[in-house]
């Protein structure tokens, strides 16, 4: 079921082709002057340059060919050769009925579905998520939902940071602060194996929560910078953990389980869920054979004691400033450091091994890395190494970067004291503001305490997510809690209110025994609403192609505005039966599409407020 833009585009292409104009020039777009037309085509101007003809002459010939199209009520020429197209009421009515009957609300699926992995979230074991994790979680979740809705088979992977020096630091810190845990761990090391009974004993002793681990880690990291003995001990513990020494590995498992439980709670509060909770540790067994394979392929070379893969092509260079102030020209991008001079696998090594693991387990056509744009250089290096090694084909891996969420001072959002704001604290701040806004608006007063709290949670998530997703992901934005939590303006709570308003209308109609019926478009506000409903497919396609949910957020807002104008200009309940039935169908179609759009943004609508 094609949208009007597509079917009219095909008609315009055929008309231009009949005049000898290449079809790619005959593009149809929504009119930038909706008071004059619904759609427009500027193809005559581009064609005139190529064919050496007068653009208005071409436009006139094309207009003559289109005037017999029953879907158009008028075809007019403006300026030097712009084509203005106005859709007939009957065609709009037919399109509205098709959208109303479609469970997908007018949305199509891709012609060639793919297997896609979306890598987002990126939490670390033993660390609470902070506000810096918000954008990856929100944007990544929306992309996962969008790609799945378009017909792709999609895996969302949290990709834990759970294997490396930070784990050795934490084991050392816990051992020093909790001698009873240290004694049990050393006992398990001596035994060389861990039974279920041992794990239960460890769980009883190691009652550390994520808050505790989050306090221990930064202190340990700071100590390692000045205490050489402690740093060396942490490195030894890291190596013994990675060799899976029984006690250390069991303690690490405890850290991982405690962290995951807390993270799942915080992610779920945001409406974010993953299919895979894989981490760096899941590819540990792949690293050594992968290193040997890279060596066998001639990709690995020794460089100052380290083993690297050079990924820069011939002539690709950049200037690099040395510590002494001199400048040298070096290959660019930087090589991938695979094994350090100390013999350790590096961060990029596990990223490369993860690409290999995903290829073997899922064989994706496409992998999206939804990660801060400041990681662009790292991912370019890793991706190039993967292509050289044959672990992925050119173009299969893409870093979808994003900007920062900033405070009023336009620097990354922090607490009033200047510290990093924990994500759970931001969620609670927004929930408290949502409660306040609901009370101010006199909403939810007749609801039970539990139902009110559930609605406040949905309003808070809508405020957070829409504040983020209404912006193109590559830009920074200023987070203003007062503005984004308002029930007025371009906000998530406003969209929820509009959805609830339509639900209330439809409940009232059902209670009074009124039913929906065929749509007949006649009023200007009805036309605008149907044209907005028809634009859903275009918004989805652009969001999908550009990995940019902001176009979908913009559509949801425009749809809410169009319905609000329609509701004000076109009485529903007071109309005669056929008109009422038609407008109830439009209201039902609007609600379905709005809820679909919000769901793709990761926003859930309540039934009432």
Q: Are residues 175 and 265 in the same domain?
A: yes
**From CA 455, how far away is CA 447, in angstroms rounded?**
10
Q: Where among 237, 253, 269 does a domain terminate? A: 269
> How does pLDDT run across 144-192, given as a tens digit for each residue?
999 999 999 999 999 988 888 889 999 999 999 999 999 999 999 999 9
In this prediction, residue 300 has a pLDDT band, given cuts at 50, 70 and 90, of very high
What mean pLDDT is predicted for residues 462-472? Answer: 96
pLDDT band at 314 (very low <50, low <70, confident <90, very high): confident
Q: Tens of pLDDT along 45-58?
A: 888 878 788 999 99
Taking Cα atoms as reference points, which of 98, 92, 97 lies closest to residue 582?
Answer: 97
Joined together, the tokens standing for residue 498 give 């509009």
Q: Is residue 583 part of a domain?
A: no
Q: Give a yes or no: residue 317 inside a domain.
A: no
On whether residue 142 sits in a domain, the answer given is no
Examine the domain organization and report whether 173 and 265 are in the same domain. Answer: yes
DSSP 341-363: TTS-B-HHHHHHHHHHHHHHHT-
Mean pLDDT confidence for 463-487: 94
Query: What integer is the mean pLDDT of 491-507?
Result: 97
Strands in 113-186 per DSSP E: 115-119, 153-157
Q: What is the pLDDT of residues 531-545, one digit of tens each?
A: 999 999 999 999 999
For residue 14, give the CATH number of its domain.
Answer: 3.30.1360.70
**Alpha-carbon separation of residue 559 from 488, 544, 569 (angstroms):** 15, 19, 15
Stronger pLDDT, 268 or 107, i.e. the higher one:
107
pLDDT band for position 490 (50/70/90)? very high
Residue of 368, 565, 573, 571 whose CA lies nearest to 473: 368
pLDDT for 582 beyond 90: yes
Instruction: Pick the last residue of a domain from 216, 235, 269.
Output: 269
As a whole number of angstroms, the distance between CA 448 and CA 471 comes to: 35
Most confident of 65-69, 323-327, 358-362: 358-362
What's the pLDDT score for residue 415?
61
**422 pLDDT band (50/70/90 cuts)?**
confident
> Does some domain include residue 521?
no
Q: With respect to residue 136, please indicate whether it lies within any of the assigned structural domains.
A: no
Q: Which domain holds residue 11?
A: 4-87
pLDDT at 129: 83
Nearest to 517 by CA among 576, 564, 563: 576
- 73 pLDDT band, cuts 50/70/90, is very high
**pLDDT-based confidence at 362, cuts 50/70/90?**
very high
Among 119, 164, 225, 224, which residue's Cα sits nearest to residue 347? Answer: 164
**Residue 146 structure tokens:** 């969008």
pLDDT at residue 451 tops 80: yes
The answer on pLDDT for 322 being more than 80 is no
**pLDDT over 70, % of the chain:** 99
Contact 171, 184 (CB under 8 A): no
What would the pLDDT profile of 119-138 be if each residue is shown by its tens digit? 998 888 888 888 888 899 99
The SS3 assignment for 333 reads: coil
The predicted model gives 88-98 an average pLDDT of 97
The pLDDT value given to residue 204: 86
pLDDT value, residue 49: 79
Q: What is the pLDDT of residue 352?
A: 97
pLDDT digits (tens, 9 = 90+) for 8-47: 999 999 999 998 888 888 889 999 888 899 999 988 988 8
Euclidean distance between CA atoms 552 and 588, whole angstroms = 19
Residue 411 has pLDDT above 70, yes or no: yes
pLDDT at 344 over 80: no
The overall average pLDDT reported for the chain is 92
Rounded CA-CA distance 522/574 in Å is 17
Alpha carbon 585 to its chain centroid, in Å, reads 32
How many structural domains is the chain composed of? 2
pLDDT in the model for residue 262? 86
Phi first, then psi, for residue 330 (nearest 5°) are: -125, 160
In-domain check, residue 301: no
pLDDT score at 418: 60
Res. 416 pLDDT band, cuts 50 70 90:
low
**Is residue 199 in a domain?**
yes
Q: Is residue 74 part of a domain?
A: yes
Whether the per-residue pLDDT at 252 is higher than 90: the answer is yes
Of 27, 57, 87, which residue is a domain's last?
A: 87
**What does the pLDDT average to over 550-558?**
98
Bridge-based pairing state of the strands 39-41 and 82-87:
antiparallel
Sheet holding 72-78, edge to edge: 28-30, 39-41, 82-87, 72-78
In degrees to the nearest 10, what's the CA dihedral of 226, 230, 236, 242?
A: -80
């Amino acid at each position: 079921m094609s949208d009007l833009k597509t079917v009219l585009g095909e008609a315009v292409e055929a008309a231009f082709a009949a005049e000898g104009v290449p079809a790619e020039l005959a593009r149809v777009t929504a009119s930038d002057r909706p008071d004059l037309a619904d759609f427009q085509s500027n193809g005559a101007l581009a064609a005139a340059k190529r064919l050496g003809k007068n653009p208005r002459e071409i436009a006139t010939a094309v207009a003559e060919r289109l005037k017999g199209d029953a879907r158009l009520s008028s075809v007019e020429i403006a300026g030097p050769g712009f084509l203005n197209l106005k859709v007939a009421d009957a065609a709009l009515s037919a399109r509205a009925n098709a959208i109303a009957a479609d469970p997908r609300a007018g949305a199509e699926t891709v012609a060639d579905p793919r297997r896609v992995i979306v890598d987002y979230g990126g939490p670390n074991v033993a660390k609470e998520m902070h506000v810096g994790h918000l954008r990856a979680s929100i944007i990544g979740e929306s992309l996962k939902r969008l790609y799945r809705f378009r017909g792709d088979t999609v895996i969302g992977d949290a990709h834990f940071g759970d294997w490396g020096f930070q784990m050795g630091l934490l084991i050392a810190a816990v051992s020093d602060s909790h001698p009873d845990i240290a004694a049990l761990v050393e006992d398990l090391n001596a035994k060389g194996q861990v039974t279920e009974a041992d794990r239960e004993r460890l769980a009883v002793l190691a009652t550390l929560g994520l808050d505790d681990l989050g306090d221990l880690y930064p202190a340990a990291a700071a100590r390692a910078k000045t205490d050489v003995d402690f740093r060396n001990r942490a490195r030894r513990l890291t190596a013994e953990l990675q060799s899976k020494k029984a006690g250390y590995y069991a303690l690490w498992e405890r850290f991982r389980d405690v962290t995951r439980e807390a993270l799942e709670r915080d992610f779920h509060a945001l409406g974010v869920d993953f299919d895979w909770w894989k981490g760096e540790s899941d590819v540990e067994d792949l690293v050594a054979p992968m290193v040997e394979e890279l060596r066998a392929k001639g990709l690995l070379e020794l460089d100052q004691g380290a083993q690297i893969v050079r990924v820069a092509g011939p002539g690709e260079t950049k200037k690099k400033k040395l510590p002494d102030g001199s400048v040298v020209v070096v290959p660019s991008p930087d090589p991938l450091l695979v094994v350090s001079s100390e013999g350790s696998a590096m961060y990029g090594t596990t990223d490369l091994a993860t690409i290999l693991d995903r290829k073997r387990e899922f064989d994706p056509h496409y992998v999206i890395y939804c990660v801060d744009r400041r990681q662009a250089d790292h991912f370019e290096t890793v991706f190039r190494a993967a292509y050289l090694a044959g672990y992925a084909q050119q173009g299969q891996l893409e870093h979808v970067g994003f900007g920062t969420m900033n405070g009023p001072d336009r620097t990354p959002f922090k607490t009033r004291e200047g510290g990093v704001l924990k994500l759970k604290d931001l969620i609670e701040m927004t929930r408290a503001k949502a409660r306040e806004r609901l009370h101010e608006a006199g909403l939810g007063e007749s609801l039970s305490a539990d139902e009110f709290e559930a609605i406040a949670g949905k309003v808070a998530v809508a405020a957070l997510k829409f504040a983020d997703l209404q912006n193109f992901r590559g830009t920074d934005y200023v987070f203003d809690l007062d503005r984004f939590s308002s029930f007025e303006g371009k906000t998530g709570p406003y969209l929820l209110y509009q959805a609830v308003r339509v639900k209330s209308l439809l409940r009232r109609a059902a209670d009074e025994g009124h039913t929906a019926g065929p749509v007949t478009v006649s009023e200007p506000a009805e036309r605008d609403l149907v044209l907005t409903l028809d634009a859903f497919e275009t918004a989805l396609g652009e969001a999908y192609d550009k990995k940019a949910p902001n176009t979908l957020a913009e559509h949801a807002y425009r749809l809410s505005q169009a319905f609000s104008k329609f509701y004000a200009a076109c009485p529903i309940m007071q109309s005669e039966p056929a008109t009422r039935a038609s407008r109830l169908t439009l209201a039902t179609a609007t609600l379905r599409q709005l809820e679909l759009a919000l769901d793709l943004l990761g926003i859930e609508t309540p039934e009432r407020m």
